[in-house]
Every structure is written in C-alpha cells, then in structure tokens.
Amino acid sequence: MRMVFRWFGEGNDYIPLDHIRQIPGVEGIVWALHDIPAGDEWPLERIKEVKEQADRYNLNIDVVESVNIHEDIKLGLPSRDVYIENYKKTIERLAQVGVKVICYNFMPVFDWTRTDLFKELEDGSTALFFENAKIKDIDPMELVKEISENSSLTMPGWEPERLKSLSKLFEQYKEVTEEDLWNNLQYFLEQIIPVAKEHNIKMAIHPDDPPFSVFGLPRLIINKENIQRFLKLVDDPYNGLTLCSGSLGANLNNDVADMVREFADRIHFAHIRNVKTYENGDFVETSHRSKDGTVDILEIMKAYHDIGFTGYARPDHGRHIWGEKCRPGYGLYDRGLGIMYLWGVWDSLERLKKEEA
Ligand code: DNO
Ligand code: MN
C-alpha cells in the first residue's frame, strides 16, 4: 500500500507541502490543475511546475485526481470528440512526468453532493453531511447557492463556470437515460484506454457519491453489480477503479470489503474513509475508526492486506477538528489521524502475517 495525500495546489490549499511531508509514510501528493476547465488540455509547463514543487519535498506526483470529463462526453454530444482528443493529449503529457494513475468520475453535473458542509458532530467537530429529505425538497440551484456561500475556496466539481450553466445542463440530461450514459461511458473508454495503456497510465474511475440518484440524474458506479458491468465495458487492467469506501458506504447494502476481494487486480487507487449511514438515507462523514461509522474499515484493510494490495491509497475526507481552517472535508489534522489509523491496522496485519509464517 502506497500512501498519498490530496493537495489542491499552491495558493489553492491551506496546507503547505512541508506539512504533508511530515505525515508518516506519505510518499506523494494527489493533485490536479484545478483551474483548468473540464475538457481543456493541460499545458505541459503547468504539469512540470507541480512536479518541481513536489520534488522539492521529495513527494511523488504519481496520482492525479481528477482529470475531469466534459459534460458533452457524458451527454454523448457530437462535440465530445474534440474533448476526448484533448483528454488524450493530457494523458500523454502526464505520462511525460511519470504519472501512473488518473482518477476521474462519470457523474452527471455534480461531483459529490452534500446538504451541509459543516454539520456539528457530538464531539463538537464538524463534517460533511447528506440529508436525504432535504435533497428531495430542494431545488438544485438553491443548494448550490447555499453550499458555495459556505465555502471560501471552490470545491472540485462545483466550479463557478460549470455551475452557471446548471439549468441548461439539467435540461440536456432530461434526454439521457441510464443506458445512454452507459453507452457514452463505453464510447469514452474505448478511445481512452488504449492511449492510457500505451503510456502506462492506469485509469481509475471513482464511484458516484452518493451511490444513488439525486435530482433525478442517472448514476452508474454505485454497487457491485454495476462495477462488474463497468469493468467489462473494456476488459483491460488499464480500465480500473478508485475504490472509495465512503462513497459506496453511503448505501448500507454495499459491502466494500467484499468488493476489494472481488475487484482486487482492478483497484489502482483506494480511497479509505468512514461514514455513518442511517436507515432514512442520511449520512455523515466520521473519523476513520471502524466503530465511529457504519463502514467496517478494519475489514476493508484486512481485505486489502489479503489481496496483497500494492496500489495507492489515501484517507479521502476527514472531519474539521481542533479549530482548523481548511477546505470542506480536506483538513490536515483529521486526515493525518486517519492515516495513522490505517497504518496502525496495516502494520499489525503485516506483523501477524510474519509471525504466522
Ligand atoms: C469523494 C471524493 C471526490 C472525488 C472525485 C473523483 O469521495 O473523493 O471528490 O475526488 O469524485 O473524481
Ligand atoms: Mn472518494
């Protein structure tokens, strides 16, 4: 397991690289050029700049999250071909600096959706929260307004340029069924995977978050069955997964440890975090500890250990604790604690294996 840590870039993150370097066992940053609109090519100069910044702290840049997909690709519009060509160019350039994994998602309109970014927990910390009843009642525009007023830095997937065209996007998606979305994903993969393979970059799709339909939009990467279907669209190791325990864990029927064992060789990137999910469909993000949420992090770690996982992993989100000023879900402190929990479990499993041998 190779531990990495998401960093939003110079001037776009409160956390400096020298702090990241001090988290035990972290060998690289998970990064992106967040200011480049989805669909545009990433300039090589800008890519090299990040590599140089990371080099100074002896951190690798092996994992990119995310190279976002233009909505026209998801909608299957004729203009998609231009954006797919741009995507290929970005893959080629990322390969030039040694990138190994690209995380992306195929969620219509929004990246992850929450109703509250700072829900207070019993211990006085705050965390991202999803209230099912509120989503059913609220107009998406209203939610977007509320969410963006509460966050000082733009969240990935909620960029102002994209959100401006929101109502038009919703109109366009009215025509798109779930089967259309599968076809559009297949069209994208058939063109992208051979290029990624040629450049030795593993593509790793992130599950939909939450793993069920919101605002009537179709959702694909939500459970074991659909992931099986996804992997067969292009049956190649370069067509793989970012297995996110927190996203999938927001549906109590998803057994993430079982998915780790099932999809073992197709998991290139592990997002490991806990959520507490309620029967009414609400969920709140919690500390990584197994007993703090409804996702069995211990069992998931055991599954990764059993399959001999050598891919990249990150703690994904954390709570906001100790008064830290941070991006919603992306503070230093709780993610740092999360990493120490994950290492604690992992190292114990390693020791036990040695003792048993
Ligand atoms: C949620 C996060 C997401 C993720 C993107 C990947 O669990 O990991 O914001 O980064 O959806 O494209
Ligand atoms: Mn995730």
DSSP letters, 214-253, are STT----S-SHHHHHHHHHHT-STTEEEEEEHHHHHTSTT
Q: CA-CA distance, 280 to 2, in Å (whole number)?
A: 36
Rounded distance from Cα 206 to ligand 1 centre (Å): 6
Residue 273 and residue 316 in contact, taking contact as beta carbons nearer than 8 Å: yes
CB of 105 shorter than 6 A to ligand 1: yes
Q: In angstroms, what CA-CA distances link 191 with 33, 83, 110, 221?
A: 23, 11, 24, 20
Q: Is the dihedral of CA 298, 302, 350, 336 positive or negative?
A: negative
- Is the N-terminal amide bond of 24 cis, ω within 30° of 0? no
Structure tokens at 183: 């076809």
* Residue-wise pLDDT tens digits, 317-346: 999 999 999 999 999 999 999 999 999 999
- The reported pTM is 0.96
Mean pLDDT of all residues in 49-73: 98
Mean pLDDT of all residues in 167-174: 90
Rounded distance from Cα 90 to ligand 2 centre (Å): 22
Nearest CA to ligand 1 atom 7: 247
Q: CA-CA distance, 173 to 108, in Å (whole number)?
A: 8
User: What is the reported pLDDT for 167?
Assistant: 83
User: What is the reported pLDDT for 154?
Assistant: 61
Mean pLDDT of all residues in 238-267: 98
Rounded distance from Cα 2 to ligand 1 centre (Å): 18
Band of pLDDT at residue 162, cut at 50, 70 and 90? low
Asked if pLDDT for residue 166 goes beyond 90, the answer is no
Asked if pLDDT for residue 306 goes beyond 80, the answer is yes
Asked if pLDDT for residue 160 goes beyond 90, the answer is no
CB of 112 shorter than 6 A to ligand 1: yes
Residues ≥6 apart with Cβ < 8 Å to 47: 33, 93, 94, 96, 97
* Residue-wise pLDDT tens digits, 128-157: 999 999 888 888 888 877 777 776 666 666
Q: Output DSSP code: residue 320.
A: B
Average pLDDT over the chain reads 95
Domains observed in the chain: 2-356 (3.20.20.150)
For residue 242, give the ligand 1 atom closest to its CA. Answer: 6
The residue whose CB lies within 8 Å of the most ligand 1 atoms, and thus the one to mutate among 102, 244, 288, is 244
Mean pLDDT of all residues in 176-191: 98
Burial class (CB in 10 A: 0-12, 13-18, 19+), 124: exposed
Q: What percent of the chain has pLDDT over 70?
A: 96
Q: Is the dihedral of CA 129, 131, 135, 139 positive or negative?
A: negative
CB of 316 shorter than 6 A to ligand 1: yes
Task: Name the residue with tokens 């055991």.
Answer: 302
Instruction: Write down the ipTM of this complex.
Output: 0.96
Residues in the chain: 357
What positions carry a catalytic annotation? 206, 244, 271, 316-317, 330
Residues ≥6 apart with Cβ < 8 Å to 28: 2, 4, 5, 54, 59, 60, 61, 62, 63, 312
Nearest by Cα to 126 from 313, 270, 347, 333: 333
Backbone angle region of 25, left / alpha / beta, with phi > 0 → left and psi within -120 to 50 → alpha: left
Reported as type and span, the H/E element at residue 31 is strand 26-31
User: What is the reported pLDDT for 316?
Assistant: 95
Q: Which residue has the higher pLDDT, 17 or 161?
A: 17
Rounded distance from Cα 355 to ligand 1 centre (Å): 37
CB of 114 shorter than 6 A to ligand 1: no
Of the listed ranges 154-163, 196-205, 254-263, the least confidently predicted one is 154-163
CA neighbours closer than 13 Å in the CB half-sphere of residue 239:
19
User: What is the reported pLDDT for 130?
Assistant: 95
